[in-house]
């Protein structure tokens, strides 16, 4: 039997790959061959190099097929890059022809014996009307001599920049080359002076913007203030509406979810950002000031009703909101008005609340406080932070997440994975000879890092909570809908807790937290039906399908398929699915249960059961979370201000529409963005881990300076890559389904289990 070719390996890109198309593809190693894969449609290219990818992204007919999912922005940037290649080739040819018209000049030796060619001097063709050429060449010789005498001084001052003149350095260097550092300094000056947050460079549109400017050449004139407020914004709105129209075309097949992301501003306004989710993407619809509505179920119902009617009743499977009593009442009334849809509480907020409750339990709270004391000390001393980054190969201890609880447990897991590195650091001669290791705070941190009981407790807490953290990241996934996975994810979290703690009296406090948070909004038929219709999990159920799951399936059939004839057909088709007959029983279908997305599996193998397949695809295409993307620096509060000109309010609404939708489109790329736990851009989520407090580990006359820091490297970002595939494919044993809701377990008589797990906690008490 032929051996499997093995999994695809994503190869790192070297710093030499400067073509803009490299930002939009992956280099894949498969069976000892190198391929390029488009980041948007995932098409593999075996030949043609990066130029073929660029043609693919530019949707240029010819050697490569067009990418169906690339954004208009990227498409335009790739086309400009292709056009730039042609323009540069023509300019180079024209330059060579004009240089031939000049009198040939033999390169003169410079003062140190090097020719002008060796010094990197380039002759630039002058217009024919400019005379005489000899004067120009003489000036260039003088420049070369001056450059030779001041070479050392220029190297030392490489990063210093002279005051800007009226036209900047770019206009002054027409026809020549510009040092890359000077370009970076020019970008920095703009960002600093204009007060643009530095994490703006993480935008997926930053590099394409640079590429477009470079392709346009030095004659490009930047858009004016009025251009950006006028035709540029107008065209951007039209472009975004075209993308949204593409999403809408898929709603008939997959259905959609209305997401109501509710949040409170610094001015204590309650705003709701309405979005529409489908597998093709999430679109921002509008923002509403709901300050006077969230306390009234009737007012909230009227608001939700208007949004449902705007999207289209036939397209909507569910409305996802916060899970307060007011929202529940409004949701119940909404489903009475529209009996073909569900109201669903936001799963990410629910799981977040579970993790917050666990943090409040005494064992976890003590462990976390000791872990924070380590990171606070490390991140407030430049010498120690530099040392930690060297010993961890650039990996960060603190990992900013999407919520405080996400940050907490991601950071704890990262620390557990780096415990050997930290132990090596505090045991090294470098640490012992460091001035930072001589005080009481450093000694306390060293003792903590060298404590086996501390790390045992950390490992146990990570084991207990990691499945819940995975559920949190799963429901916020951008790559695939979570509806078919969340029921199994929560069950798996409970099973892991039972196996780790063994004794019922130990794991029941954690189970109670999960059950109370999850079941207080029962029923959740969509999640139960998602589990049932996901072939990866359904065919591993031992015995009869639990009643809770089957009830959820029947609820979905009655509500989402109102026609009785279709309901009867689905009921018959369920038998074929349960028994895996017809196409469901093909060997291909059995293998594909674990490789295809559930919706794709039904689309491929559900042809014999068209009514059930249509329902399954619509259910499995939904999300469970109403959480939107980052809202910082989007002027929602300004838009909802009462003191605003009507026309300007319209313009601001369009600006927010474009800005927020662009962020939603690029969420999957933001997972790989560069971050620094010390940055003010991240401080709101990590202050508990990086800001020192009085008491333990307080600094004593430390003279640390940020200039001394080793800045985070690209390797420190590796841990932040999208882990969706691992989240959705983690295996669990068959027995977990067999014992799905068992509460009576045999208790382990060994009372040392908990002491071994939380020995550190008891020792501190």
- Indicate which CATH number applies to the domain containing 263: 3.30.420
Domain boundary among 641, 670, 699: 670
- The pLDDT of residue 132 is 41
Q: Which domain holds residue 507?
A: 346-478+484-522+671-765
pLDDT tens per residue across span 1-24? 444 455 677 777 765 677 888 888
- The pLDDT of residue 403 is 86
Sign (positive or negative) of CA dihedral 77, 83, 89, 93: negative
CA distance 762 to 752: 12
Judge whether residue 354 has pLDDT over 50. Answer: yes
The closest alpha carbon to 686, from 349, 461, 358, 412, belongs to 412
Give every CB contact of residue 570 below 8 A, 6+ residues apart in sequence.
Answer: 557, 561, 611, 612, 615
Question: Does 353 lie in the same domain as 494?
Answer: yes
Question: Does 421 lie in the same domain as 329?
Answer: no
Give every CB contact of residue 240 below 8 A, 6+ residues apart in sequence.
Answer: 657, 658, 661, 662
Beta bridge partners of 36: 27, 45
φ, ψ (nearest 5 deg) of residue 262? -100, 135
- The pLDDT of residue 21 is 86
Question: Does 707 lie in the same domain as 653?
Answer: no
Beta bridge partners of 276: 258, 283
φ, ψ (nearest 5 deg) of residue 428? -85, 160
The pLDDT-based confidence of 649 (bands split at 50, 70, 90) is confident
- The pLDDT of residue 693 is 66
Contact 656, 631 (CB under 8 A): no
Q: What is the mean pLDDT of the chain?
A: 79
Least confident of 412-421, 496-505, 724-733: 724-733
What the block records as the tokens of 549 is 């799951």
Question: Does 659 lie in the same domain as 680?
Answer: no
Judge whether residue 128 has pLDDT over 70. Answer: no
pLDDT tens per residue across span 415-436? 999 999 999 999 999 998 888 8
Give every CB contact of residue 330 below 8 A, 6+ residues apart in sequence.
Answer: 297, 298, 300, 301, 304, 321, 343
The closest alpha carbon to 555, from 575, 527, 534, belongs to 527
Q: Is residue 287 part of a domain?
A: yes
The closest alpha carbon to 739, from 541, 466, 532, 484, belongs to 541
Four-point Cα dihedral 459, 461, 466, 471, nearest 10: 180
φ, ψ (nearest 5 deg) of residue 284? -85, 130
pLDDT tens per residue across span 47-105? 778 888 888 888 887 777 888 888 887 888 888 888 877 676 666 666 556 545 544 44
Maximum Cα–Cα distance across the chain: 100
Is residue 132 reached through a cis peptide bond, with omega within 30 degrees of 0 on the bond before it? yes
Q: Residue 742 gets which letter from DSSP?
A: -
Distance of CA 112 to the CA centre of its chain: 54
- The pLDDT of residue 160 is 47
CA distance 533 to 539: 10
Q: Tokens 């990418």 identify what position?
A: 67
Question: Does 407 lie in the same domain as 336?
Answer: no
- The pLDDT of residue 439 is 85
The closest alpha carbon to 434, from 503, 512, 381, 363, belongs to 381
Question: Does 350 lie in the same domain as 337?
Answer: no
Domain boundary among 107, 138, 156: 107
Question: Does 516 lie in the same domain as 468?
Answer: yes
Question: Does 367 lie in the same domain as 326?
Answer: no
- The pLDDT of residue 218 is 86
pLDDT tens per residue across span 225-239? 999 999 999 999 999
What the block records as the tokens of 511 is 């189970």
* pTM as predicted: 0.72
Question: Does 371 lie in the same domain as 515?
Answer: yes
Q: Residue 609 gets which letter from DSSP?
A: S
Q: Tokens 């392709």 identify what position?
A: 215
Interaxial angle between packed helices 404-417 and 683-690, expressed in degrees from 0 to 180 and rounded to the nearest 10: 50
Give every CB contact of residue 62 below 8 A, 6+ residues apart in sequence.
Answer: 55
CA distance 135 to 275: 66
End-to-end CA distance of the chain: 61
Beta bridge partners of 736: none
The pLDDT-based confidence of 756 (bands split at 50, 70, 90) is very low
The closest alpha carbon to 48, from 17, 18, 37, belongs to 37
Judge whether residue 703 has pLDDT over 90. Answer: no
CA distance 267 to 716: 36
Q: Are strands 342-345 and 316-321 parallel, antiparallel or unpaired?
A: parallel
pLDDT tens per residue across span 134-188? 434 344 444 544 454 455 444 444 444 445 444 445 444 555 567 888 899 999 9
Q: Residue 606 gets which letter from DSSP?
A: -
Q: What is the CA radius of gyration of the chain?
A: 31
Domain boundary among 107, 131, 165: 107
With a pLDDT cut of 70, the percent of the chain lying above it is: 74
- The pLDDT of residue 309 is 96
Question: Does 656 lie in the same domain as 732?
Answer: no
φ, ψ (nearest 5 deg) of residue 33? -120, 150
The closest alpha carbon to 470, from 534, 417, 406, belongs to 406
Q: Is residue 213 part of a domain?
A: no
What the block records as the tokens of 92 is 């180079």
Judge whether residue 110 has pLDDT over 70. Answer: no
Beta bridge partners of 27: 11, 36
Q: Is residue 425 part of a domain?
A: yes
Q: Is residue 590 part of a domain?
A: no
The closest alpha carbon to 420, from 461, 456, 463, 391, belongs to 391
- The pLDDT of residue 98 is 56
Higher pLDDT, 122 or 284: 284
φ, ψ (nearest 5 deg) of residue 15? -70, -10
Contact 373, 694 (CB under 8 A): no
Mean pLDDT, range 349-358, rounded to an integer: 93
Q: Is residue 474 part of a domain?
A: yes
Contact 561, 757 (CB under 8 A): no
Judge whether residue 384 has pLDDT over 60. Answer: yes
The pLDDT-based confidence of 414 (bands split at 50, 70, 90) is very high
Mean pLDDT, range 186-199, rounded to an integer: 88
φ, ψ (nearest 5 deg) of residue 26? -115, 145
Question: Does 508 lie in the same domain as 375?
Answer: yes
Judge whether residue 695 has pLDDT over 60. Answer: no
Question: Does 422 lie in the same domain as 324?
Answer: no
Burial (CB count <10 Å: 0-12, 13-18, 19+), residue 444: middle
User: Per the structure, how many domains does the chain have?
Assistant: 3
The closest alpha carbon to 392, from 362, 422, 367, 354, belongs to 422
Q: Is residue 393 part of a domain?
A: yes
């Amino acid at each position: 039997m032929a051996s499997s070719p093995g999994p695809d390996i994503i190869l790192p890109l070297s710093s030499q790959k400067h073509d803009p198309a490299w930002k939009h593809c992956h280099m894949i190693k498969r069976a000892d061959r190198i391929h390029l894969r488009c980041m948007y449609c995932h098409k593999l290219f075996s030949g043609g190099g990066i130029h073929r990818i660029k043609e693919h992204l530019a949707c240029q007919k010819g050697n490569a097929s067009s990418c169906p999912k690339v954004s208009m922005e990227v498409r335009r940037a790739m086309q400009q890059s292709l056009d730039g290649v042609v323009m540069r080739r023509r300019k180079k040819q024209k330059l060579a022809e004009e240089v031939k018209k000049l009198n040939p000049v033999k390169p003169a030796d410079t003062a140190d014996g090097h020719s002008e060619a060796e010094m990197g001097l380039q002759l630039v063709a002058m217009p024919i009307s400019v005379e005489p050429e000899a004067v120009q060449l003489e000036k260039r010789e003088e420049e070369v001599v001056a450059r030779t005498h001041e070479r050392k001084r220029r190297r030392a001052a490489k990063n210093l920049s002279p005051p800007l003149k009226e036209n900047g350095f770019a206009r002054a260097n027409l026809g020549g080359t510009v040092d890359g550092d000077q370009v970076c300094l020019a970008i920095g000056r703009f960002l600093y002076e204009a007060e643009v947050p530095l994490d703006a460079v993480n935008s997926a549109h930053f590099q394409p913007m640079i590429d477009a400017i470079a392709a346009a050449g030095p004659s490009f004139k930047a858009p004016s203030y009025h251009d950006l407020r006028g035709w540029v914004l107008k065209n951007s709105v039209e472009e975004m509406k075209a993308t949204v129209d593409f999403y809408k075309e898929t709603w008939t097949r997959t259905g959609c979810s209305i997401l109501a992301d509710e949040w409170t501003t610094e001015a204590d306004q309650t705003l709701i950002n309405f979005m529409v989710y489908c597998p093709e993407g999430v679109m921002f619809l509008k923002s509403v000031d709901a300050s006077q509505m969230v306390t009234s179920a009737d007012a909230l119902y009227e608001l939700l009703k208007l949004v449902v009617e705007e999207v289209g009743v036939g397209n909507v499977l569910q409305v996802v909101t916060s899970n307060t009593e007011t929202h529940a009442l409004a949701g119940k009334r909404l489903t009475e008005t529209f009996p073909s849809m569900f109201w669903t509480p936001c799963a990410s907020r629910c799981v977040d609340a579970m993790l917050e409750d666990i943090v409040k339990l005494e064992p976890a709270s003590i462990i976390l406080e000791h872990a924070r004391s380590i990171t606070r000390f490390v991140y407030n001393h430049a010498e120690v932070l530099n040392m930690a980054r060297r010993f961890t190969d650039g990996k960060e201890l603190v990992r900013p997440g999407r919520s405080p609880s996400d940050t907490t447990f991601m950071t704890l897991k990262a620390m557990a994975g780096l415990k050997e590195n930290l132990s090596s650091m505090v045991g090294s001669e470098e640490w012992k000879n460091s001035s930072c290791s001589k005080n009481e705070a450093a000694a306390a941190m060293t003792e903590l890092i060298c404590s086996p009981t501390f790390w045992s407790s950390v490992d146990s807490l990570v084991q207990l909570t990691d499945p819940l953290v995975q559920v949190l990241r799963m429901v916020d996934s951008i790559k695939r809908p979570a509806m078919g996975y969340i029921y199994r994810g929560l069950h798996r979290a409970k099973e892991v807790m039972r196996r780790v703690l063994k004794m019922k009296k130990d794991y029941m406090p954690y189970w109670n937290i999960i059950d109370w948070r999850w079941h207080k909004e029962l029923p959740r038929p969509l999640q139960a039906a998602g589990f049932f219709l996901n072939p990866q999990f359904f065919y591993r159920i031992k015995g009869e399908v639990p009643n809770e799951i089957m009830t959820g399936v029947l609820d979905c059939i009655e509500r989402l398929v109102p026609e009785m004839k279709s309901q009867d057909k689905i009921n018959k088709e369920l038998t074929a699915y349960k028994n895996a007959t017809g196409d469901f029983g093909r060997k291909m279908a059995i293998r594909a249960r674990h490789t295809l997305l559930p919706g794709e599996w039904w689309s491929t193998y559900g042809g014999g059961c068209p009514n059930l397949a249509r329902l399954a695809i619509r259910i499995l295409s939904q999300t469970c979370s109403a959480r939107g993307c980052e809202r910082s620096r989007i002027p929602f509060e300004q838009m909802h201000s009462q003191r605003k000109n009507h026309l300007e309010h319209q313009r601001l609404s369009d600006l927010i529409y474009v800005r927020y939708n662009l962020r939603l489109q690029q969420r999957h790329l933001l997972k790989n963005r560069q971050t620094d736990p010390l940055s003010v851009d991240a401080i709101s989520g990590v202050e508990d881990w990086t800001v020192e407090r009085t008491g333990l580990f307080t600094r004593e006359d430390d003279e640390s300076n940020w200039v001394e820091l080793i800045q985070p490297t690209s390797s420190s970002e590796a841990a932040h890559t999208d882990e969706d595939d691992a989240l959705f494919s983690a295996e669990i044993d068959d027995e977990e389904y067999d014992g799905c809701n068992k509460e009576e377990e045999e208790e382990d008589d060994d009372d040392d289990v908990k002491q071994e797990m939380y020995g550190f906690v008891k020792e501190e008490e």
